[in-house]
């Protein structure tokens, strides 16, 4: 099967005066597993349905393998879609559900037999061919929906939150199976989800969307480590934000007066990456900080920026303990890895937070 690219060029979609998609520009590489990540109402499912042909943009182009398919009807696009509800025919057997698209295309019976058998083997359901959907588990129903889609050999596979109806353990198993199947087929796949863990564990790259706008595109690690704005920083993981006023800039140092905390001196590795605004947020992930009991003087420690505080809340989450620490007028979240015998910091205890300068991202407010 030939691997194809999908490209959105300046796509805009509005319902009346309500803009749902605003100037969408994306290039999805041939054979890529690409995720559209965002909250409800961000436009991700609307964009997926537009690629499938169920929505029509007001302006812009949609290209598959370099050809503009903006005005091609859905049934002629050779794009397969797995819906959140699976949309299986309840009165049909698994075999007939999978064969449905091939029967509609009036393929020879021998070819249908061969293709359905291969699709069922791919998803591990060859032993369930005679069962009805209501005799299957949620994970098995999802596999039927996948088999029904891949049996027609689409150029592009679209997945609209296909794991949302499954329990947590099965979701983890199924996302691993989805990725393994995609790798075997090499099919260009676009996966819509509001769950950052699902996107980060499956996608080669992903686009974070909000209010119909693509906020940032990149690999999961790149978006997690180098978010371009506050929305991406907070949506992809948990982020501390210390807002403040820029006091001084130099080639290798920025001094930021944090509201209610005091002066924070942030060494700069790349001055060109620092926003030009006079008010910025010094942001850092909870797991990157160091914790030490007491408010000790750490002024000579060049490795970390130390801030004194008081533990106001703690949550034991198994692999780590999450602390909320009051630092002046700010609350900072800090995660400490847990292992047997490690003493926990008690609520009300003084504590010092060490922030490694290389882990600070300066973001516009």
Alpha-carbon gap, residue 282 to 265, rounded angstroms: 10
Helix, strand, or coil here: 114?
helix
CATH topology of domain 6-233: Rossmann fold (3.40.50)
CB atoms under 10 Å from CB of 309, counted, come to: 24
**Three-class secondary structure of residue 129 per DSSP:** coil
Splitting the chain (365 residues) into consecutive groups of 10 residues, what average pLDDT does each group show?
A: 93 94 97 96 95 95 96 92 84 92 89 91 89 89 88 92 79 86 92 92 96 97 94 94 90 84 79 77 95 73 86 95 94 94 92 91 90
DSSP state, 283?
E
Q: Coil, strand, or helix at residue 271?
A: helix
The alpha helices in 38-167, defined as continuous H runs, are 44-52, 94-104, 109-122, 138-150
pLDDT of residue 139: 83
Residue 11: the pLDDT is 98
Whether the Cβ atoms of residue 262 and residue 299 lie closer than 8 Å to each other: no
- Element (DSSP H or E) covering residue 247: strand 240-249
Domain ranges in the chain? 6-233, 238-364
CA-CA distance, 222 to 189, in Å (whole number)?
20
Tally the residues of the chain.
365
Residues 6+ apart with CB under 8 A from 71: none
8 Å CB contact between 348 and 311: yes
Q: What percentage of the chain's residues is helix, strand, coil (to nearest 5)?
A: 30, 35, 35
Dihedrals phi, psi of 25, to nearest 5 degrees: -125, 115
Starting at the earlier edge strand, list the strands of the sheet with 79-82.
79-82, 156-160, 188-193, 33-37, 205-210, 213-218
- Which of 133, 122, 13 is CA-nearest to residue 62? 13
The gap from C-alpha 345 to its chain's centroid, in whole angstroms, comes to: 33
| 238-364: CATH topology | OB fold (Dihydrolipoamide Acetyltransferase, E2P) (2.40.50)
pLDDT of 252 reads 81
| Amino acid 276: pLDDT | 83
What pLDDT, on a 0 to 100 scale, did the predictor assign at position 277? 85
Identify the pLDDT of residue 264.
84
CA distance 297 to 40: 46
**Amino acid 297: pLDDT:** 59
Task: Determine the pLDDT at residue 124.
Answer: 87
Alpha-carbon gap, residue 284 to 327, rounded angstroms: 15
What is the C-alpha separation between 78 and 91, in angstroms, rounded? 26
| CB 345, CB 293: distance < 8 Å | yes
Between β-strands 350-355 and 305-316, what pairing exists: parallel, antiparallel or unpaired? antiparallel
Q: Classify burial at 180, counting beta carbons within 10 Å of its beta carbon; exposed 0-12, middle 13-18, buried 19 or more.
A: exposed
C-alpha to C-alpha distance for 320 and 336, rounded to whole angstroms: 5
Phi, psi dihedral angles at 230 (to 5 degrees)? -65, -35
The reported pLDDT for the residue numbered 52 is 95
Tokens of residue 13, six digits = 């979609």
């Amino acid at each position: 099967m030939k691997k194809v690219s999908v490209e959105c060029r300046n796509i805009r979609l509005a319902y009346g005066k309500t803009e749902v998609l605003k100037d969408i520009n994306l290039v999805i590489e041939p054979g890529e597993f690409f995720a559209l990540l965002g909250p409800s109402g961000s436009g991700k499912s609307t964009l997926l349905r537009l690629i499938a042909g169920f929505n029509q943009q007001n302006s812009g182009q949609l290209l598959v393998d370099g050809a503009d398919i903006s005005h091609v009807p859905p049934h002629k696009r050779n794009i397969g879609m797995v819906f959140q509800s699976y949309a299986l025919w309840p009165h049909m057997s698994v075999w007939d559900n999978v064969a449905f698209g091939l029967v509609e295309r009036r393929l020879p019976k021998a070819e249908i037999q061969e293709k359905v058998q291969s699709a069922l083997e791919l998803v591990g359901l060859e032993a369930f061919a005679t069962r009805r959907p209501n005799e299957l588990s949620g994970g098995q129903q999802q596999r039927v929906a996948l088999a029904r889609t891949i049996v027609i050999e689409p150029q592009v596979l679209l997945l609209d939150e296909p794991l949302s109806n499954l329990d947590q353990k099965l979701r983890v198993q199924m996302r691993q199976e989805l990725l393994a199947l995609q790798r075997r087929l090499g099919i260009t796949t676009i996966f819509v989800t509001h769950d950052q863990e699902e996107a980060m564990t499956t996608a080669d790259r992903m686009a974070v969307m909000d209010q119909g706008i693509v906020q940032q595109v990149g690999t999961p690690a790149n978006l997690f480590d180098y978010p371009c704005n506050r929305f991406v920083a907070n949506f992809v993981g948990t982020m501390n934000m210390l807002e403040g006023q820029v006091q001084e800039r130099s080639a290798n140092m920025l001094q930021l007066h944090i509201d209610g905390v005091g002066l924070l001196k942030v060494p700069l590795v790349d001055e060109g990456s620092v926003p030009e605004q006079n008010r910025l947020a010094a942001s850092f992930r909870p797991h990157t900080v160091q914790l030490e009991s007491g408010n000790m003087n750490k002024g000579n420690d060049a490795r970390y920026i130390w801030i004194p505080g008081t533990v106001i809340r703690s949550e034991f989450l198994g692999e780590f303990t999450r602390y909320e620490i009051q630092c002046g007028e700010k609350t900072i979240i800090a995660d400490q890895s847990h292992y047997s015998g490690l003493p926990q910091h008690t609520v009300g205890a003084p504590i010092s937070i060490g922030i490694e300068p290389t882990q600070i991202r300066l973001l516009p407010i």
